[in-house]
A and B are shown apart, each in its own frame.
Chain A
Amino acid sequence: MAEGNVAEKVKQIFADYKKIEPADVSTNATFEELGFDSLDGLNIVFELEEEFDIVIPDDKAQEMKSVGQIITEIEALLEAKDSGVEAG
């Protein structure tokens, strides 16, 4: 999967969840800035796992606090998946 594609999809997931335009989801935006609490965070992680067909380990999920962090993490997990390496 092309890198740009991941960022786009992640932003689309946030946009759908927040009912806003993807263009309004900044890469630097933190969960706090987006008005997310821990339960919103869990829901987003669930959506990401479904969208990318990956397993995000609990410790990685806990570290995810911004859109940019999530994009980087998802790219790493997809790469690990493509090369057949078990993540986490």
Chain B
Amino acid sequence: MRKVVITGIGIVSPIGADKSAFWESLAVGRSGIGPITKVDTAELRFKNAAEVKGFDASSHFDERQMMMLDPFAHFGIVAAREAITDAGFAADEKFGSRVGIVTGSCLGGKETEDAFFYDLYANKKNRVPPIAIPRSMSNSVASHVSMEFGVTGATFTTSTACSSANHAIGQAFWLIRQGTLDAAIAGGSEAPLCYGNLKAWEAMRVVSPDTCRPFSSDRNGMILGEGGAMLMLETEESALKRGTKIYAEVAGFGMSADAHHLTMPLAEGAARAMQNALDDARLSPAEVGYINAHGTATQANDVMESNAIRLVFGDHTDSIAVSSTKSMHGHTLGAAGALEAAATVLGLHNELLPPTANFTELDPEIKLDVIAGGAREAAPGAALSNSFAFGGLNAVLAFRRYTG
């Protein structure tokens, strides 16, 4: 069976607008959560989010491109460009038919829709700009990246709420492993900080009024974030032939559905996805030393996730370090799995596991070794990255530390 490795990482995030800045923040546990500046929060019950800072889209795209792109596409395309060049390919590389793209997005171009529909309903305009549809379609990142880099192999987009990016990376991984593709750009991006969408999240009553404290007894909800992350995946053979660096091996992928409830997660469903990822990777539970948790800091998720990990790993759970990097980059919905895969892979590569920021005291109902108070030096053989979505759709990626 073909081995698939990660050779490039690209990031636009609230804790760094490129891969290096992102990792520097993770390594020191710096949170990007702060007051929302993109919209007026006067009539919102929550005022904080994790916004992308230090990123000027117009320095990455010309005027014509800016007209065609929603912010979620800015994040996704810039992340893809970085992943490609980070993997040692040229900035004007033309990849052809053995390379594909799989991107995840929960909302697509929601900011575009919010603005254009506001004009329609509130400002009583009678028409919407013709660019509305192509700018807001969820596959716009995949399409733009395919055109920019001449990618003509399997290219598509997954939308499974908060699991979108993990489903995307998992599909890309399988397409390479089974021989359909030799390489793929995979990840996700999201720009959820527009007024209509923030109001919709307010109604869900799961957003924290201050900050995101995963697994902490005083946690009071999630914090929304925006951004994008892309990985360059290719066969180990191709990476070795090109002589490029290898961050980690994508070892396995597992999915499941809870078949239970739209918004209440089920430990058995999450556990099945983790077990499927281990089986797919031919990993024994004892090899796993780190889990980048879904860890939203909602009451429901964190206890459920602790129970699910215990279901799969039993007593070995005590030997697994767990953190939720959402405490720093926020919950970026359809991009979450991609940012967290990047955090996991960089952690394995740098032998430093990112911490859970804002953590005060472990919830007594949660039985996990939560990394808090700073990153932890460790070199586990394998790690999981969990994503569990509203609607009960779970996707888990398994990575092996690459030792050559």
Q: Is the CB of A57 within 8 A of B264?
A: no
Residues of chain A contacted by B264 (CB below 8 angstroms): 37-39
CB interface residues, A 22-65, toward B, < 8 Å: 37-39, 42, 45-46, 55, 57-58, 61-62
Q: How far is the CB of A22 from chain B (nearest CB, A)?
A: 25
Q: Is the CB of B263 within 8 A of A58?
A: no
Q: Is the CB of B205 within 8 A of A62?
A: yes
| B42 close to chain A: CB less than 8 A | no
Q: What class of interface size applies to chain B in its complex with A?
A: 10 to 19
- Name the residue among B203, B205, B263, B264 with the largest chain A CB count within 10 angstroms: B205
Set A37, A45, A58: member contacting B209, Cβ < 8 A = A58
Cα A61 to Cα B264 in complex, Å, equals 17
Residues of chain B contacted by A46 (CB below 8 angstroms): 203
| B204 close to chain A: CB less than 8 A | yes
Cα A37 to Cα B319 in complex, Å, equals 36
- Name the residue among A38, A42, A61 with the largest chain B CB count within 10 angstroms: A38
Cα A46 to Cα B204 in complex, Å, equals 10
Q: How far is the CB of A31 from chain B (nearest CB, A)?
A: 13
Q: Is the CB of A42 within 8 A of B203?
A: yes
Q: Is the CB of A55 within 8 A of B205?
A: no
| B45 close to chain A: CB less than 8 A | yes
Cα A45 to Cα B206 in complex, Å, equals 14
Cα A37 to Cα B262 in complex, Å, equals 11
Q: How far is the CB of A18 from chain B (nearest CB, A)?
A: 18
Q: How far is the CB of B97 from chain A (nearest CB, A)?
A: 45
Q: How far is the CB of B381 from chain A (nearest CB, A)?
A: 39
Q: Is the CB of B45 within 8 A of A39?
A: no
Residues of chain A contacted by B221 (CB below 8 angstroms): 58
| B124 close to chain A: CB less than 8 A | no
Residues of A within 8 Å of B, CB-based: how many? Answer: 11
Q: Is the CB of A38 within 8 A of B263?
A: yes
Q: Is the CB of B205 within 8 A of A61?
A: yes
Q: Is the CB of B261 within 8 A of A58?
A: no
Q: Is the CB of B263 within 8 A of A55?
A: no
Q: Is the CB of B204 within 8 A of A42?
A: yes
Which residue of B has the minimal Cβ distance to A57? Answer: B45
Which residue of A has the minimal Cβ distance to B209? Answer: A58
Given A55-B45, A57-B45, the answer on whether A42 and B205 have CB atoms closer than 8 Å is yes
Which residue of B has the minimal Cβ distance to A41? Answer: B205
Q: How far is the CB of A23 from chain B (nearest CB, A)?
A: 30
CB interface residues, B 203-220, toward A, < 8 Å: 203-205, 209
Q: How far is the CB of A15 from chain B (nearest CB, A)?
A: 22
Interface string of B242-279 (1 = CB under 8 A from A): 00000000000000000001111000000000000000
Q: How far is the CB of A9 from chain B (nearest CB, A)?
A: 21
Cα A84 to Cα B221 in complex, Å, equals 29
Residues of chain A contacted by B263 (CB below 8 angstroms): 38-39
Residues of chain A contacted by B205 (CB below 8 angstroms): 42, 45, 58, 61-62
Q: Is the CB of A37 within 8 A of B45?
A: no
Cα A60 to Cα B106 in complex, Å, equals 30
Cα A62 to Cα B205 in complex, Å, equals 9
Which residue of A has the minimal Cβ distance to B262? Answer: A39
Interface string of B43-56 (1 = CB under 8 A from A): 00100000000000
Residues of chain B contacted by A62 (CB below 8 angstroms): 205
Q: How far is the CB of B22 from chain A (nearest CB, A)?
A: 31
Which residue of A has the minimal Cβ distance to B46? Answer: A58
Interface string of B317-352 (1 = CB under 8 A from A): 000000000000000000000000000000000000
Residues of chain A contacted by B45 (CB below 8 angstroms): 55, 57-58
Cα A57 to Cα B221 in complex, Å, equals 14
Which residue of B has the minimal Cβ distance to A42? Answer: B205
Residues of chain B contacted by A42 (CB below 8 angstroms): 203-205
Q: How far is the CB of B365 from chain A (nearest CB, A)?
A: 16
Q: Is the CB of A37 within 8 A of B203?
A: no
Which residue of B has the minimal Cβ distance to A46? Answer: B203
15 contacting pairs across A/B (C-beta < 8 A)? A37-B261, A38-B263, A38-B264, A38-B300, A39-B261, A39-B264, A42-B203, A45-B205, A55-B45, A57-B45, A58-B45, A58-B205, A58-B209, A61-B205, A62-B205
Q: A37-B264, A38-B263 are in contact. List 11 more A-B contacts (CB 8 A).
A: A37-B261, A38-B264, A39-B263, A39-B264, A42-B204, A42-B205, A46-B203, A57-B45, A58-B45, A58-B205, A58-B209
In the A-B complex, the 3 residue pairs with the closest CB atoms: A58-B205, A39-B263, A61-B205
